[in-house]
Amino acid sequence: MNIVYVLWLRQLKRFVRSRSRIVGALGQPVLFLVALGFGFGPIFERAGQGSYIQFLAPGVMAMTVLFTSIFAGIELIWDRQFGFLKETLVAPVPRLTIMIGRTLGGATVAVIQGLVVFAICSLAGFRASGFAALPRALAFMALIAVLFTALGTAIASVLQDFQGFQLVMNFLVMPVFFLSGALFPLSHVPRPLALVASVDPLAYGVDGLRSALIGISHFGAATDLAVLAALSAVSVAVGSYLFSRIQL
């Protein structure tokens, strides 16, 4: 337990100390919020869908959590190349403990970033439906964060270096984000797209956040919660398995 805490704390310290990364990671959500939010706002409203900022903000929060947590997981490659991984692997500590500490640390960082974006969205005019919304949104953010940190760790356990990273970004992270319904409502899209979205884990995260924050839901909050919880469990299990098989 103590070791999980130590590893968790390590991730947090690394996060707090790399200010440029914090600011850099906020650039993208702000850009999405401003360019898309204000850019498409008028059209969205004319189509009778209400305020686009209200609709988009939960999507942008989900995006932030997705990117930060995938990165936190993939950071394992960094540890492999700069050596700290070896220090953890020769320590008399079960691999599962190490994996859990890392995942919780990375997930916490991702949730913090998500909350910062929540604050920025509020500045840009986003209004959550009430105070009860926040703890529920937090729960969804935590699930998204755990799911994708563990997924990132699983991927990083298999990759040897950053060569494959671009591949992961273009063929996994980007599609997961763009097809999740973070930017558009899933209710009227063509069937194939709806089908793809329904197998996109982030779609349930975005939908869960939206139901928590503005009371709009496509799949239903209970479904979102169940799917995310199940997928998180699977991804932590797969991540732990692949992590335990790392040989140096």
Given the rule CB under 8 A, which residues bind another protein? 2-3, 6-7, 10, 13-14, 17-18, 82-94, 247-248
Nearer to another protein, 233 or 245 (CB): 245
Nearer to another protein, 98 or 203 (CB): 98
| Smallest gap from residue 242 Cβ to another protein (A) | 17
Query: Which one, of 121, 158, 145, lies nearest residue 236 by Cα?
Result: 145
| Smallest gap from residue 13 Cβ to another protein (A) | 6
Nearer to another protein, 123 or 248 (CB): 248
| Smallest gap from residue 94 Cβ to another protein (A) | 8
Nearer to another protein, 68 or 235 (CB): 68
Query: Which one, of 66, 14, 40, 65, lies nearest residue 175 by Cα?
Result: 66
| Smallest gap from residue 95 Cβ to another protein (A) | 10
Nearer to another protein, 8 or 67 (CB): 8
